[in-house]
Structure 1
Amino acid sequence: MSQLKTFFAGAAAMASALAAVVLLTGAREPRNAQFDEITVGRINIVEPDGSKRLVISNRAQFPGDFMQGKEGERPDRRSFAGMIFVNEEGTENGGLIQKGSIGPDGKISSGLSLTFDRFRQDQALQLLNTDSNDWQQTAIKINDVPYFELTSLADQQRFGQEARQLPAAERQAYWQKLNDAGRLGANRIWLGNTRDKGSALQLKDAQGRTRMMLLVSASGAAEIQMLDEAGKVIRTITPTSGL
């Protein structure tokens, strides 16, 4: 009888050991899985060390912004779903956000934005579509964005706070001083449709001032406009005007 008890005790111990091995190895399998369909609220694509490189999320779990491995609060993103690109140092590198709904007041609130950021900075390239009851716009924007050591994202927030504390009459001069010092970003190229159902290409100088526009109206009339630094049209070229 004692030998039988010993046998059963040994068998139980071996079974426990095998179960532990199965559980431990099973926790790591399968390394390569295939699914016909998967339903999730958020997916974090990570490196082997666990650092995030891409976040795909619904609206409820949409992340804040990422800067050098730390996530910051972004309440303004809570109405969007989409994905965020994150670079090797853990800083946001662009992303895709989208939303679309009709509110209780019957008004449309819809938009989609695909952006690519400069390193530790904001949008250098944006593909944008917005829609409302009044009008729809689709555009491509190419921006000059300052080097992050000259103007950081924190600096941009500080500039806005300082400007709001100034009397309204002094704000323009405040922004102009920063702009002259190269501390601000500027849109350089804008391509899209217009409110009157035309299309336009705007080419701008380093200060963000439009200096040339290529226009086609809804009826098909085409022209090229050249503008001075104050925004005044100084020359217009049409198919019949000659060069």
Structure 2
Amino acid sequence: MHAIEREVRILRMYCLLTVPVLVLLVFAGFVQKPRFGEIAVQRINVVEPDGKTRLVISNKTRAPDAVLGGKTFKRQGGNSAGLIFYNQEGDEDGGLVFSGAARNGRYEAGGALLFDQYHQDQVVGIQYSDDNGSRSAGFQVWDRSDIPAAETLEREQAIARMPDGPEKIAARERLRASGAWNAPVRVFVGRDRSKAAVVDLTDPQGKTRARLLVDSLGAARLEFLDAGGHVVYAVPESTRSR
């Protein structure tokens, strides 16, 4: 009898010691953050504690549609692999895209890191574009309309649903005249397709008015142009239009 009581006491002590240890191990499994040496995924969504998306990393096929003004739209120009940034309201705010492939003996490649105007499209970015060796790369600044992009896209969708005819043509002309999609490049600093290193400054219509460049032969010059694209002052003077 005493032997049985002694075994029961030992069993109780064992339980008192082991159960807390097991509980700690279980909770430690939940608290410990998983670590991966390598993972393969098609898309990662980075979200805030409230579930709002702030960043998406994806391949081309899993790239999300554009989100503007809280509404979803098909992405113009198709999807690309890369990153998409979102602001605190959940609207698209810019991104990083890249591509490159050869076909029928020719290749096309490109990449861009872009940041969007609030409720609009990109206004500043770094871009690279290469069409089988004809390439440009540089920093750009765009002007954008104050009209929200979501509003313009909804107008485009409404016009697309209209029956063909004069009213549809007139609606398209009114949309074009509104300047909603106007996006002149105001600043370009980079290397253009003529192999020149360029600083190009334009007017609100996107026409170059001042240019500093070093051409493909190493010759440097500074030019000021009128609205018609004619050089009105240049250094050295020999580059001035006559």
Same fold (TM over 0.5): yes
CA contact (8 A) 2:71 2:150 kept: no
Following superposition, the deviation at residue 77 of structure 1 comes to: 2.7
Shift, 1:67, TM fit? 2.1
Partner of 2:67: 66
Q: Give the aligned partner of residue 91 of structure 2.
A: 91
* Cα displacement (A) at 1:95: 0.2
For 2:59 and 2:186, locate their aligned partners in 1 and report how far apart those are by CA, in whole Å. 33
1:112 aligns with 2:139: no
Distance 1:183 1:193, change over 3 A: closer
**What 5-or-longer segments of structure 2 have no aligned partner?**
1-22, 160-167
Counterpart amino acid of residue 229 in structure 2: G
More displaced 10-residue stretch of structure 1: 82-91 or 188-197:
188-197
1:140-219 aligned at under 5 Å gives the runs: 140-147=139-146, 150-155=147-152, 158=155, 166=169, 177-179=177-179, 184-219=182-217
Q: From the superposition, tell whether residues 76 and 44 of structure 1 become closer, same or farther in structure 2 (CA, over 3 Å).
A: same
Residue 77 of structure 2 aligns to a residue in which SS? helix
**2:140 counterpart letter in structure 1:** K
CA contact (8 A) 2:56 2:83 kept: yes
Structure 1, residues 63-105: CA drift from partner, whole Å, max 9, x if none? 1111244432226333x200100111110000001111112x1
For 1:137 and 1:161, the matched residues in 2 are separated by 37
| Aligned residue in 2 for 1:14 | none
1:235 is paired with a residue whose SS is strand
RMSD of aligned Cα (Å): 3.3
8 Å CA contact 1:223–1:239 kept in 2: the answer is no
Question: Structure 2 counterpart of 1:88, which letter?
Answer: Q
Q: Per the alignment, do residues 196 and 183 of structure 1 end up closer, same or farther by CA in structure 2, a change over 3 Å counting?
A: closer
31 and 83 in structure 1: CA distance in 2 versus 1, 3 angstrom threshold? farther
**CA shift for structure 1 position 154:** 3.5
The secondary structure found in structure 2 opposite 1:76 is: coil
- Counterparts of 1:74-85 in structure 2 under 5 Å? 74=75, 76-78=77-79, 80-85=80-85
Change (3 A) 1:62 1:153: same
CA distance in 2, matches of 1:72, 1:174: 18
Paired residue secondary structure (2:30) = coil
Counterpart CA distance in 2 for 1:114 and 1:183 is: 20
Aligned CA distance change for structure 1 residues 156 and 224 (closer, same or farther; 3 Å): farther
Q: Name the aligned partner's letter for residue 97 of structure 2.
A: I
> Aligned-pair distance for 1:31?
5.8
- The aligned counterpart of 2:38 is 37
Identity of aligned pairs, percent? 33
CA distance in 1, matches of 2:72, 2:152: 18
Letter in 1 for 2:127: L
**TM-score of the aligned structures, taking structure 1 as reference length:** 0.73
Which one has a bigger Cα radius of gyration? 2
Task: Tell me if structure 1 keeps the 8 A contact 2:109–2:129.
Answer: yes
Report how far residue 197 of structure 1 moved.
1.4
Q: Give distance in 1, aligned partners of 2:81 and 2:94.
A: 14
Query: How many pairs are equivalent?
Result: 208
Contact 2:121 2:149 in 1 (8 A): no
